[in-house]
Every structure is written in structure tokens, then in C-alpha cells.
Structure 1
């Protein structure tokens, strides 16, 4: 009965969210800009290739190493960052992982997305609570085209961005079955919407986050400068478009080739606001820097929006970061800098 009730609730929610979104509302600036200096957190055990995501639950830190040679995930104690264990072994055996795109805590469980295997794996705390053990594997429906991100909606459902171009999101059961597609890409590119939806979906690749306490699902585009806010409690949908506009691309052999800027790289919905890492560099600027030997990756800006999408403030960091984690109550932000041997930096925010 609980499953039937959840499915009915999903149908009601997504039916409302599937309606046409509010026309994109532009924003040009933030009322407040703050410069932040961080404190490097020393690590004496782990060596990362590309520390891409940080997720903290209670007293446990999980860090995703996107290009790891042995283990994709490193666990640490919080707040001292002492090493606990490594998991998510890279390899070809049935229990190994080919890739990891994102990780999400759900209580004491850590869910891990492997897009190359089309699987989401759950790791749970061991009896001694000093490590995580592989407990469950969800094989995703073949109708779901290469999942690159996900959030845990409730105890029976995941939300996954749709890269087929048919919709914006897929609602997926804990068994991996596609329940429903919702929404549309809020693009003004009518030609692409009609003739090149898969390429458009690639260009509109977005990073997402969901907060079950306030029901807000946020999506930020990797290219361009677009924030979408879906309130799954009151069924509202807001689209905010920054000065760099929506993702720009050209179509080549069915693929979307980016031509504009690198936009957002991470987003977190807290109880009171939405925090997003923004880069804002053109591909031309990135290429010119690389020719000079500058391979700096990430963004120095944290854009802070209200839960309704109003720009609140812009934080300017001294480091280029890819991922953040916020503890609003303590006024702490942890950021991951892929360019440093010591990648973890702690910031204090008001």
C-alpha cells in the first residue's frame, strides 16, 4: 500500500510540474559580493587524482575521486578528516565499478552512481560503524539514457536528469524502473527543440540537488548560466537566466558541441538558500590558458540564491573549486580544489 501511495503522490506532483514553466527571469548581478579566505585542511593519508564531490553526513565524510586509479571514494571522520576507509574499487569484476558520477547520503547509507554500468549501489555502515559495506545494487531501466546525476527523493524513488531530450527528469523506482518523465528543457532554441533534442539535452546537462525538508529540487547548467528551481511541495517551477544566457552549442554528427562558457559545476539546496559553484570562463579562454600551461580547473564564485530564485550574494573564493558542502547552522562551507595537493578548504560564512 505504501508503494501505491508513493506512486500516486508522484503522479500528482509531476503532473503539476509538467506544466509550462514560468518564463525565464533574467538576473544581472547580486546585491552583495564577499571575498572569502579559507583554511586548508591537511590530509596525511589520501592522494586524489581529481577530488570531484564532497558529501558529509553526521560525522562521516565521503569524497568522490572522479579519476581514481584504485578506489573512487574515500571516507573520513568529520570534522578532523582522519581517514576511515576506501570503497568503490575500480575494475571489471561484478562488484567493482567502471565509473562514479556522483554520491549521495541517505541516512547511514551512501548511494553511488556508476553510469557506465547503469547502476546505483548502496553502501551501508558495518556493525562496527568504521566502514561501509556494499549492500544493494539497483540496475537502471534501459529506457534511461546514461544517467549522469541523481538525487534520492524518498525511500522508494530516485530523480535522474533525462538526457534523451524527451523531458527534463526521470522518476525512477528503487528497483530501477522508469516510472515517469516530467518537464521540458526550458530552451528558447525552437529549432533544436524540434530537430535536435538529444544534442540539446547534452548541452543542457545539469547538476542537481534536492532537499526533502523544504521540497526544493534545483538544477544548474554545466554550460551557460541557468538555474531551475522545482518546488515539489507547491508545484512551482522557476527559471533564472544569468548574463551568459542559456547553453550555447553547435550540432555535429548528432552531438552537441559547446561553444559558449563553462557555467556551474555543483549545487546544494540548504534549508534556507541555494548555493552554486560558478566558473564563467569561455572555452576560448580555457584553451588559451592551457596553451600557456595553465590547467586550472573549477570556479572561484559561489552564487547564493533564495529558495525562490532571487540572487542574494556572490562569494569570491581564493581557490578554484568544483564542489561544496554547507553547514548553515555552524556557518561552515567545505570546498574541493582539484588543483591542489591538499584539496580541502574550509570557509566561514555569515
Structure 2
């Protein structure tokens, strides 16, 4: 798939879907109003885009790290003057904290193991204020960490076990101090609302697919194919979900109950059902998404499974991650496509400083900084 085909013009139409991440100090009254709104129909539309009005190339600068060896640095989360990098396949620890802007190593935490304070498999992490929440899908728990007063270690200060009614949780976002959302992989709904004790409160939403046969006969496989990376910004009330397969980005504004489905040239996730599982057949899609204060940023791959198969047969290795940083307005208008000089997985955007921090699993220098244009 060429850069030209990935980044050009767009057009708009109308159709359906629904919801995931929140954090921060939303009032209890707002949460009650939002939960009530979940049961009402949303104002939904589908926007079909075939490119972006602006394209720019960006060269990154690898940041020298004074310590920490990563196996697969998958996510990076920034909070004030600290960044935490999650190592998806860490052998000793799952995440490493650094100071900003110098990226000096502060602490490694989230020890891998079977002990009561260990993690089996870290799937994602989120900041809520000064607390880092880590999802351990192996134990079906969310662990809470805070920095010690000396800032040289992360201390585990609590754990929440998730309701057994939830299928294996692979992502989560906080709504406020008492509620979070977990994607529903049963296919019966889009998301599960979970309280601070991990108890399932309700399910809501539906997958915005045109595949009626899968809706009728293969909902779990459909949910697997539609697995999405999610994010939420409490300052503007916008929630995003970007599909791991195909090219679909969903945006919800939780303040006015609008829902936009952005459908790109890659289309919705394509798959075949084998023994109840969804086997992907078309392309790898998005790999990370962030809702910032003024725009939505998403890393897109676009590699076909045919290309992957051919590379394996020929003994070639493909780069993990995506080279295309898509930028959309908070209402879903395509703004710009950045073509990066390397493949990256995780992203963290600082709009005020016009900085993009990324993780590059293909390099021995895995944290890379990009300077964004000031014209978005």
C-alpha cells in the first residue's frame, strides 16, 4: 500500500456504533447522567475518508537511555514530568519509569511472577492523577501504583479483581475514581461498565459492522476481529476506539452523546471463522490511539496478511508497528497524515510542546522523539 494511497482527500456520509476511556475528576452527577444516556439512542454517523488534506514526513531522534533493557516496549504513558514505558514481554519487570525531559531512569516495577504482588501479563496502563493503573489480564486484576516520596521507586498500593462475568480483559479506561470501561469480547455488546470494586454494572453498545451473518452466528469471532485500542480525554469528553484490523476509528463525545464511525480505505476488519475463532484475512490496522486536547492521534500500519505470509516464506523479517500517524479533529475530520521514518508502536503526544514520544520495538534505542509541525 503506497503513501499516496494512505494520505490524500476525504468525503463524508452517515451511519452507526459505541464507547471506552475516562479519567479525572468528573462529578458524580455527570457520571449518573452519562450512565442514563447510555440507554438512549446516540446521534450516530459514518464518515468515509480516503486520505488526508495534508501530508508531512517526520524524522525521529532516538533518546539515549541510561539504563533498562526492553524486550518489547509496547506502550508509553506520560504524566507531568514522568514517563512510563510498558515492556509487553518483560522478563523481570513490565514497566520502567523515566524523568522528563532528560529521560533519566527512575524505577522499574511491575515484577513478573506468580506471587501476590507480581504480575502475570501486563496488557495496558493508565494514569489517573498521580496513580498508575496496570491491567493484569492473567490474574484479571487492575493493580495501582504510586511513586515513593523519593521518586526512585513505584509502590503497589492496591489491587482490584475484575468480575468473573467479564471475558479476558485486554484494555480498560477510567471514567472517574469509581467507574471504568472494559471492552466486551463476547460480541453481545461493545463495552462493560465496571465499578471501583471490579463488579460489572451493565453492558452497552454494539459493533458497527455491516457483516450481518457474523452478528447472527459468530459474535465472539466478530468481537475478536473488532478488537480496538482505546483512549479517553476527560478535559473534552472524547473517547476513541481504533481497530487492530482494517481501518475503523470510532469517536464518542460523552457530553453531547454523539458517535462518529470513521471508515478508511482499509474498510472494516475482515476475517474467517474457524472453530469459533476469528482469523484475520486482510490488513493490520491501528496500533495505538491518543485523544489529546485539540485532536485525535492514531498510529496506522496497513500491512496486509498476504505481505506478512510472503515475508515469512522468503525468510524476511517485517518491522513491527506502523509508520503513519493520522491526525483527526475531535469531531472526526481528517487533518493530516505524518509519514514517520521508522515503525513505532506506542505514542504519547504533548500538543503544547509539539512533541511525539514513541516506542520502536525494532531498535536497540527504543524511545524515539519526533517534533510535530505547528500547523495542525
TM range (shorter): over 0.9
Which sections of structure 2, spanning at least 5 residues, go unmatched?
A: 1-25
1:9 maps to which of 33, 40, 48: 33
Aligned residue number for residue 321 of structure 1: 344
Aligned residue number for residue 330 of structure 1: 353
Aligned residue number for residue 292 of structure 1: 315
Contact 1:225 1:264 in 2 (8 A): yes
Please list, as runs of the form range in 1=range in 2, the aligned pairs for 1:1-350 lying within 5 A after superposition: 5=29, 8-16=32-40, 19=41, 22-290=44-312, 291-349=314-372, 350=374
Shifted more, 255-264 versus 153-162: the winner is 153-162
Distance in 2 of aligned mates of 1:54 and 1:200? 29
The alpha-carbon deviation at position 292 of structure 1 amounts to: 3.0
Q: Secondary structure at the match of 2:307?
A: helix
Q: Secondary structure at the match of 1:101?
A: strand
Q: Secondary structure at the match of 2:39?
A: helix
The alpha-carbon deviation at position 63 of structure 1 amounts to: 0.4
Contact 2:106 2:151 in 1 (8 A): no
Contact 2:60 2:341 in 1 (8 A): yes
The alpha-carbon deviation at position 23 of structure 1 amounts to: 4.3
How high is the TM-score relative to the length of structure 1? 0.96
The alpha-carbon deviation at position 288 of structure 1 amounts to: 1.8
The alpha-carbon deviation at position 44 of structure 1 amounts to: 2.5
Distance in 2 of aligned mates of 1:346 and 1:136? 33
- Structure with the larger RCO, 1 or 2 (CA within 8 Å, 6+ apart): 2
Write the deviation string for residues 216-236 of structure 1: whole angstroms up to 9, x where unpaired: 000000000000001101110
Which sections of structure 1, spanning at least 5 residues, go unmatched?
A: none
Contact 1:21 1:186 in 2 (8 A): no
Write the deviation string for residues 88-142 of structure 1: whole angstroms up to 9, x where unpaired: 1111111111100101111110000011111001001213233221011010011
Distance in 2 of aligned mates of 1:10 and 1:235? 9
Q: Secondary structure at the match of 1:261?
A: coil
Q: Secondary structure at the match of 1:24?
A: strand
Distance in 1 of aligned mates of 2:279 and 2:137? 21
Contact 2:42 2:258 in 1 (8 A): no
Distance in 2 of aligned mates of 1:344 and 1:34? 21
How many matched pairs? 347
Write the deviation string for residues 45-87 of structure 1: whole angstroms up to 9, x where unpaired: 1111000000010111100000111100011111111111111
Distance in 2 of aligned mates of 1:57 and 1:3? 22
